[in-house]
Chains A and B, each alone.
Chain A
């Protein structure tokens, strides 16, 4: 079964750091570009970041540039999001998603909740 499973969410104080992980299974992870998307409570979806399949090319939404870092380990079939200098408005469910052959995000994880609060 094709699957993505996020982990690493939790409660963190403002200014703190957190590292999210996304474990992939059921497909050749190293062949697919990957993304992170988040959803604040009661709000819409926000695209956050992209990483290429093998070359390490990355892109970010302006609001997280310089604070968040996307990375991957193809040998471990895993995607990561290192989040630093966290703010209250980073509170959200964080989803990892696979970019399918037609450039759409076709497989999503169940999400992991990040709460930034003192």
Chain B
């Protein structure tokens, strides 16, 4: 199975900061990667699919990019509503493994 290594596990940032979260796949998955946001007590919410396509309704301060097997979620100008946990998930095959998650905390 494809393994996803996500970093960092925790990130402390301030409102207005630009933050980057990285996921590395254990093998080539082309652009088959999604990013989710999860807030406490809520189900995950799809932000980005196919590495860089923004889901409908997601603010444009979120963006995704890929270089080889390394994927990056960027949040430009962090807003108070963005403090949450973020997960990547490879969508290459039927077995869709998640990264370990990154908690974005208020500095």
Contact = CB atoms under 8 A, between A and B. Distances in A.
B88 to A, nearest CB: 10
A50 B43 contact: no
B96 A105 contact: yes
Interface in A81-118: 95, 100, 102-106, 108-111
A72 interface: no
A95 B87 CA distance: 15
B76 to A, nearest CB: 22
B22 to A, nearest CB: 16
Contact of A109 (B43, B46, B91): B43
B95 A61 contact: yes
A47 interface: yes
A45 B101 contact: yes
Interface string B33-63: 0101010000111100110010100000000
Interface of A: 35, 37, 44-47, 50, 57, 59, 61-62, 95, 100, 102-106, 108-111
Interface string B54-87: 0100000000000000000000000000000001
- Going nearest first, the 3 A-B pairs with the smallest beta carbon separation are A104-B49, A104-B34, A108-B43
Given A47-B89, A111-B43, A102 B53 contact: yes
Nearest to B85: A44
B49 A108 contact: no
Contacts of B95: 47, 50, 59, 61
A103 B49 CA distance: 8
Contact of B98 (A47, A100, A110): A47
Given A103-B32, A110-B43, 13 more contacts: A44-B99, A45-B38, A47-B89, A47-B96, A61-B95, A95-B43, A95-B44, A100-B49, A102-B49, A104-B34, A105-B36, A106-B46, A108-B44
Contacts of B97: 47
A57 to B, nearest CB: 8
Nearest to B46: A106
